Structure 1
């Protein structure tokens, strides 16, 4: 790790740390450059300069995505807003079949934020980036007056490279395709809800925040013709399958008893009258694969740490275009519509 040229001595963020002067330079060089530490960022230019030849070695198309993170609280069991920002953006790239490469990071800090807490968040971002094989190569920092923000908001943008021949799209779902999820559903939503302390539950609920790029490569090796894949973050599995059905003009049926949901998460849902299928996830994807390849993809996923609890939870069929139904444990069916309103605000 590069030794920072400057040292941040302040214990809390002040307006001066966003003013463009010495205090801001101390913050950037010590906290951000000192942790993220790569040649692109260390140059301290106004932009990262990427070698096109390097990108072209891995594919013939660029995947480009951006996202913002305003989760409350900013630290919770199993992660924090920093790890969430990195993994969330990595996963948005990964589900296209792309190999994630570079991230940018924009931070809005509230005056009064503890520098020690900021360091923990930045260090977790570095650890998450290292685990995903990406570099945080450029960024921006702003500070807003106390009471005008909520500790820290993070925006990340990611660039990845899609290898030639991979065509993953919500428009490719066909009748007969199988729907697979890579594990327990609803962990992140339940963890954030519990971390807020409103339920006073005597149970530990951990976020499922994790990168999915390696799992995606395993899945593509088992079936290069994956039809559709998305990460089930805000709006959960229900939103993803509704998007697939609507875009492809097919109907999708999920099997309630096949959806993997932890007992603790079921308990939270029962208390609040909510549905785990709508709960946010930060380490779960929903894949639609040709029926002939479903068992091979499932086996490959279950052999990977990020897919040990993977399960086939449904299928596409010729029915009312755009309709999603859930076959209940009692043998009946209910319509699973798009999420209406805000079930759990500031979940990511």
Structure 2
């Protein structure tokens, strides 16, 4: 499946009569063509005008008008369950790739979408996932312009796997990277941590718990726009996905050869996440997020950045959570006044989280 951006298609899309995905939908024949035209093309044509070619063609002048370098990323999504409170694998695929571009300082523009579908997947489930991707792309202001579809026999995959790649434009003069972090810099996060990991854990139905937890899955490019508008000198940004906040901060500390001291009372965690972690003996610092941004800024700009983050819908609960120090480890000042080392995650708390 490829959506080029040169010219629009004009013929009436075919009707999909199959109730489930069959091997014929990956054969390259009529069934596959009907699937592409009736489902993917119709959902993703919110972007530039498209035609069925073998590649997307992107005008360079539109990109160079926004910056001086390209940012390019790719990611794969295998979450279980594929539909959960607050989102599904489709919203994860779009927002995850948009956020990887955004935290590099880039303006996300174009995405690809490659799907591996298991024979027998309900067509309605696929429709929901594709609709979620289209809605997420529209919210983030990006276009899904090319992709691919493969079908494997029953048991060859678990319902649906998605790979997305993204192209963005790097803003001139904005180059966040962990190596820029220095002692004295301030660490911020844009809201409560651990919601995605906790939501997936409950959604698997293995704990017999009822909660109102929802994933925090959301695009962060608008929030990044707010940050760099007041602080183009931002030192580093990262979305805290697998491994959570603790893993991101350990990566920062190792890359910059610095220490980071967190204040437990200042780290936002929702009560439902706290309760689940206490029940299961987990640490919310290591739970996955899909809409949380960790940002490091110079100390003299911390309050201005905090105000800018709180003014954006994705950052209303933003907090300053710590400061960069000498040394090469991450530590946490607890509510009891003691201090403990926050190391890297040794093993997966929960596999197939995104």
TM-score between the two structures when normalised by the length of structure 1: 0.97
Q: In 1, Cα distance between the equivalents of 2:172 and 2:271? A: 42
- Give 2:316's aligned residue: 308
- Give 1:274's aligned residue: 282
2:112 maps to 1:104: yes
1:344 to 336, 345, 350: 350
- Give 1:122's aligned residue: 130
2:79 maps to 1:71: yes
2:273 maps to 1:265: yes
- Give 1:134's aligned residue: 142
Q: In 2, Cα distance between the equivalents of 1:237 and 1:90? A: 19
- Give 1:58's aligned residue: 66
2:338 maps to 1:332: yes
Structure 1 unaligned spans of 5+ = none
State how many pairs are aligned: 346
User: Aligned ranges for residues 134-153 of structure 1 at < 5 Å?
Assistant: 134-153=142-161
Q: Secondary structure at the match of 2:39?
A: helix
2:22 maps to 1:14: yes
Q: In 1, Cα distance between the equivalents of 2:209 and 2:18? A: 37
Structure 2 unaligned spans of 5+ = 1-7
The answer to whether the Cα contact below 8 Å between 2:184 and 2:299 also exists between their aligned partners in 1 is yes
Q: Secondary structure at the match of 1:42?
A: coil
- Give 1:46's aligned residue: 54
2:97 maps to 1:89: yes
Deviation at 1:204, TM superposition (A): 1.3
Shift in alpha-carbon separation, 1:130–1:39, aligned structure 2, 3 A: closer
Name the Cα RMSD after superposition.
Answer: 1.3
Deviation at 1:5, TM superposition (A): 2.5
TM-score between the two structures when normalised by the length of structure 2: 0.96
